[in-house]
């Protein structure tokens, strides 16, 4: 057994005590105006204050195995290019030629190139972003200083393989401050040793906050997922804890009670429970028994969100049989659970938000982590006040 993830283990231990002592969750309820999920003016404020400069998860370092490997990322609203250089360093740039602003790469998935060549006039950029060649430079741009016209670099940070990029070139990234003790949990779960397997990108007609709520909600698990993963979990046995601007949660699997009979160093959090990390503002990391999922949300409108779901596995598939196994495992969660159940009800809820049937959404004691999420937003932006009229 590997080292226990320290922060999640404390949540796990507290949940075991709740079960042992037959403690119910503290009574904690709340309500939120339904216009919070439909107000376009508020959405624009969210996008500016919460997303514009924030370091957002855009992938895993294992996606880029060798120099020249790169991918593009447009979901945040900025054209981002991420590449591993000849010096093995991963960098992020705006995917924009410094001459006439044309996109340099339109890679579908991960591609490889020795350099980036603008298709318009063939300006060439090295993997480190420097401008290396301008056709007919002496005649066309005799005074051009190539050193001043490299690609616009974006702040990039890495924690146990997770790549965080800000779309603001002038922003800074401090993952120690942003993630705090969660970094040690990622290390204990060996997130950095996992490798990228598969990723899907879908657009859902739902407010991004509704989707975050679905993955913070332990109340629905055995009901909404009754035909898929619901029978694997205990009903109403879950606990969450805020960590800075992030939230850690533990949902008990059927094997959870066995941990009551084990010493602490024998606990297996991947088998006894489902551990999840919500990384503010838009990423959920879920530790399954055999692999790790990340779900990152990129809102495009008050009622529309791009959802990126990626799968990280312990090692690259050794043969076609292993690859087929992981493909099946991924599809069970992606198609059977996320798309058909979680994201489906979020779209249905968005229809409800627009209908006028409810003025408020209600949250109960088993949904307290959702209230924590909204408190974090309020700390950043102030309380939501519906527009009059």
pLDDT at 389: 47
Confidence category of residue 385, pLDDT binned at 50, 70, 90: confident
Alpha-carbon separation of residue 222 from 25, 234, 254, 258 (angstroms): 18, 7, 11, 20
Instruction: Specify the 3-state DSSP secondary structure of 108.
Output: coil
The reported pTM is 0.95
Say whether pLDDT at 213 is over 80. yes
Instruction: Specify the 3-state DSSP secondary structure of 326.
Output: helix
Query: What distance in Å separates the CA atoms of residue 126 and residue 116, rounded to the nearest whole number?
Result: 6
Query: What distance in Å separates the CA atoms of residue 34 and residue 43, rounded to the nearest whole number?
Result: 13
Both tokens of 384, joined, read 């939501």
Query: What distance in Å separates the CA atoms of residue 7 and residue 188, rounded to the nearest whole number?
Result: 10
Both tokens of 51, joined, read 């997303």
Domain 6-53+181-381 in CATH 3.40.50.720: no
Residues 6+ apart with CB under 8 A from 375: none
Tell me what percent of the residues of the chain surpass a pLDDT of 70.
Answer: 99
Tell me the pairing of strands 56-60 and 124-125.
unpaired
Confidence category of residue 25, pLDDT binned at 50, 70, 90: confident
Say whether pLDDT at 335 is over 70. yes
Return the exposure string of 286-301: e unless at least 16 CB atoms fall within 10 Å of the residue's CB, then b: bbeeebbbbbbbbbee
Confidence category of residue 108, pLDDT binned at 50, 70, 90: very high
Average pLDDT, the chain: 96
Stretch 189-207: mean pLDDT: 97
User: Under a CB-based contact definition with an 8 Å cutoff, are residues 312 and 191 in contact?
Assistant: yes
pLDDT at 24: 86
Confidence category of residue 224, pLDDT binned at 50, 70, 90: very high
Residues of the chain with CATH 3.90.380.10: 6-53+181-381
Instruction: Specify the 3-state DSSP secondary structure of 339.
Output: helix
Residues 6+ apart with CB under 8 A from 69: 63, 83, 84, 110, 111, 112
Residues of the chain with CATH 2.102.10.10: 56-165
Query: Running DSSP on this structure, what letter comes out for residue 386?
Result: P
Say whether pLDDT at 323 is over 70. yes
pLDDT at 1: 46
pLDDT at 2: 61
Closest CA to 250 of 226, 279, 274, 221: 274
Instruction: Specify the 3-state DSSP secondary structure of 19.
Output: helix
Confidence category of residue 3, pLDDT binned at 50, 70, 90: confident
Query: What distance in Å separates the CA atoms of residue 97 and residue 122, rounded to the nearest whole number?
Result: 10
Query: What distance in Å separates the CA atoms of residue 334 and residue 310, rounded to the nearest whole number?
Result: 9
Query: What distance in Å separates the CA atoms of residue 250 and residue 275, rounded to the nearest whole number?
Result: 5
The residues pairing with 90 across neighbouring beta strands, listed in sequence order, are 84
Cis check for the bond before 347: say yes or no (omega within 30 of 0): no
Stretch 267-278: mean pLDDT: 96
Confidence category of residue 257, pLDDT binned at 50, 70, 90: very high
Tell me the pairing of strands 283-287 and 291-301.
antiparallel
CATH of domain 56-165: 2.102.10.10
pLDDT at 388: 59
Tell me what percent of the residues of the chain surpass a pLDDT of 90.
Answer: 96
């Amino acid at each position: 057994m590997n080292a226990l993830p320290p922060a999640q283990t404390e949540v796990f231990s507290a949940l075991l005590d709740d079960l042992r002592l037959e403690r119910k969750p503290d009574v904690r309820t709340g309500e939120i105006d339904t216009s919070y999920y439909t107000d376009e003016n508020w959405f624009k404020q969210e996008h500016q204050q919460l997303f514009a400069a924030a370091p957002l998860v855009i992938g895993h370092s294992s996606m880029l195995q060798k120099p020249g490997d790169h991918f593009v990322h447009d979901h945040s609203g900025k054209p981002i290019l991420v590449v591993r250089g000849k010096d093995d360093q991963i960098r992020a740039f705006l995917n924009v030629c410094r001459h006439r602003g044309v996109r340099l790469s339109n890679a579908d998935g991960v591609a490889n190139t020795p350099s980036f060549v603008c298709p318009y006039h063939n300006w060439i950029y090295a993997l480190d972003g420097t401008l290396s060649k301008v056709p007919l430079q002496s005649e066309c741009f005799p005074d051009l200083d190539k050193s001043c016209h490299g690609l616009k670099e974006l702040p990039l940070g890495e924690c146990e393989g997770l790549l965080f990029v800000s779309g603001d070139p002038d922003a800074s990234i401090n993952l120690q401050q942003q993630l705090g003790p969660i970094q040690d949990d990622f290390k204990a779960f060996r997130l950095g040793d996992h490798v990228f397997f598969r990723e899907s990108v879908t657009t859902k007609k739902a407010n991004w906050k509704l989707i975050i709520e679905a993955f913070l909600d332990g109340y629905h698990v055995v009901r909404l997922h009754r035909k898929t993963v619901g029978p694997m979990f205990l009903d109403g046995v879950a606990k969450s804890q805020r960590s800075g601007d992030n939230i850690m949660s533990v949902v008990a699997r059927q094997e959870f009670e066995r941990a009551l009979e084990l010493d602490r160093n024998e606990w297996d959090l991947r088998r006894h429970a489902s551990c999840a990390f919500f990384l503010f503002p838009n990423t959920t990391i879920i530790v399954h028994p055999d692999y790790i999922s990340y779900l990152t949300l990129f809102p495009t409108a008050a009622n529309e969100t791009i959802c990126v779901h990626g799968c990280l596995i312990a090692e690259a598939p050794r043969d076609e049989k292993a690859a087929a196994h992981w493909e099946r495992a991924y599809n069970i969660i992606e198609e059977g659970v996320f798309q058909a159940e979680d994201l489906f009800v979020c779209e249905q809820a968005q229809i409800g938000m627009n209908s006028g049937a409810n003025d408020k959404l209600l949250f109960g004691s088993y949904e307290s982590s959702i209230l924590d999420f909204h408190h974090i937003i309020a700390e950043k932006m102030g309380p939501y006040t519906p527009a009059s009229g």
